[in-house]
């Protein structure tokens, strides 16, 4: 593990896991595991003056799955969450702000577990989708990337949602979903009661809503999850499930900047960006611009 530079404000940790996604085509693995390298190559670490916290290497991806098998790569995801949690906790213990480069959305289990072990933390979930699939609203679950929010709020197999007896890692009332726009996801989030602001509703009052959820006396802080598909596919199409109607680059940078200025921001992760769909590197550069703008 790379030593954290004592005077750095940020530390970048790679979480190059694609364990939570289905294969995009037969005999093809999801390319989001390459995202940390693409973002580093586009200059993210230098742009924000971050320490290099190294990488947490994921277990082997297994592509075979059918309904009834449970969660694809489930035991591997649980083991990875434990390792990632330890590394995130070490960064925070150094007094440095962790920036985790994924990977698919299932990497959220690691930071969520680390923060749950430290206290009670909220979650700002910036995503085109709710990732809230569970057996209460679906006939089966398959890929953990599509159930990441359900898992961290305690909905799923015990070996994933109750590591260390800490279920749930995040309470429902401590979550706000920002940018969701898929019709099915909007239905699920409304029925769940989770606080949410759909993409068309994001505007000047959004941070006031987020503050009510995330900045409270009974919370120790909050984590920020950013799925790159919160951006409109006209801006950044290199994602697993592009969905029209998302934010533009300035909109995401402004929203993220506002969240980072709220008291208690404890770290962030970026997920789902797929360099296999970004042959010339322009989309990686755009993501770096967004992150650098917000973090400055």
Query: pLDDT tens, position by position, for the chain (296 residues)?
Result: 444 555 679 999 999 999 999 888 888 899 999 999 999 999 999 999 999 999 999 999 988 877 666 788 999 999 999 999 999 999 999 999 999 999 999 999 999 999 999 999 999 999 999 998 776 666 567 788 989 999 999 999 999 999 999 999 999 999 999 999 978 788 887 888 899 999 999 999 999 999 999 999 999 999 999 999 999 999 999 999 999 999 999 999 999 999 999 999 999 999 999 999 999 999 999 999 999 999 98
Question: Which among 93, 84, 89, 86 has a CA at the least distance from the CA of 56?
Answer: 84
Matching residue, tokens 């973090």: 295
- The DSSP symbol for 104 reads S
Q: Which burial class, exposed, middle or buried, applies to 78 when counting CB atoms under 10 A from its CB (0-12, 13-18, 19+)? A: buried
- 26 Cβ contact partners less than 8 Å away, ≥ 6 residues apart: none
Q: Could you tell me whether strands 122-126 and 175-178 are parallel, antiparallel, or unpaired per DSSP bridges? A: parallel
Predicted TM-score of the model (pTM): 0.95
Sort strands 97-102 and 265-271 into parallel, antiparallel or unpaired: parallel
Angle (nearest 5°) at CA 81 between 135 and 122: 75
Asked if 273 contacts 238 with a C-beta cutoff of 8 angstroms, the reply is: yes
**Torsion (CA) 20, 25, 26, 32 in degrees, nearest 10:** -40
The side-by-side arrangement of strands in the sheet containing 222-227 is 51-55, 10-15, 97-102, 265-271, 222-227, 122-126, 175-178, 195-197
């Amino acid at each position: 593990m790379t030593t954290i530079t004592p005077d750095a404000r940020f530390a970048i940790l790679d979480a190059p896991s694609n364990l939570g996604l289905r294969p995009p085509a037969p005999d093809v693995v999801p390319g989001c595991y390459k995202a940390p390298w693409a973002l580093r190559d586009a200059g993210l670490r230098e742009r924000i003056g971050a320490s290099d916290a190294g990488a947490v290497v994921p277990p082997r991806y297994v592509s075979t799955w059918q309904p009834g098998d449970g969660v694809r790569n489930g035991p591997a995801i649980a083991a990875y969450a434990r390792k990632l949690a330890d590394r995130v906790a070490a960064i925070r213990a150094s007094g440095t702000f962790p920036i985790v480069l994924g990977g698919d959305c299932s990497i959220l289990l690691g930071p969520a577990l680390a923060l749950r072990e430290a206290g009670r933390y909220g979650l700002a979930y910036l995503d085109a989708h709710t990732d809230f699939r569970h057996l209460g609203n679906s006939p089966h679950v398959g890929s953990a990337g599509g159930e990441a929010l359900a898992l961290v709020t305690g909905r799923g197999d015990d070996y994933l949602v109750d590591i260390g007896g800490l279920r749930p890692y995040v309470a429902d009332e401590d979550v706000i979903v920002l940018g969701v726009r898929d019709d099915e996801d909007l239905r699920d989030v409304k029925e769940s009661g989770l606080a949410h602001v759909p993409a068309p509703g994001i505007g000047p009052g959004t941070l006031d809503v987020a503050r009510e959820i995330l900045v409270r006396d009974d919370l120790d802080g909050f984590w920020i999850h950013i799925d790159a598909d919160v951006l409109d596919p006209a801006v950044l199409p290199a994602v697993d499930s592009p969905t029209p109607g998302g934010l533009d680059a300035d909109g995401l940078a402004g929203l993220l900047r506002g969240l980072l200025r709220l008291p208690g921001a404890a770290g962030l992760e970026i997920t789902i960006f797929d360099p296999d769909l970004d042959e010339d590197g322009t989309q990686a550069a755009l993501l770096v611009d967004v992150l650098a703008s917000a973090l400055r």
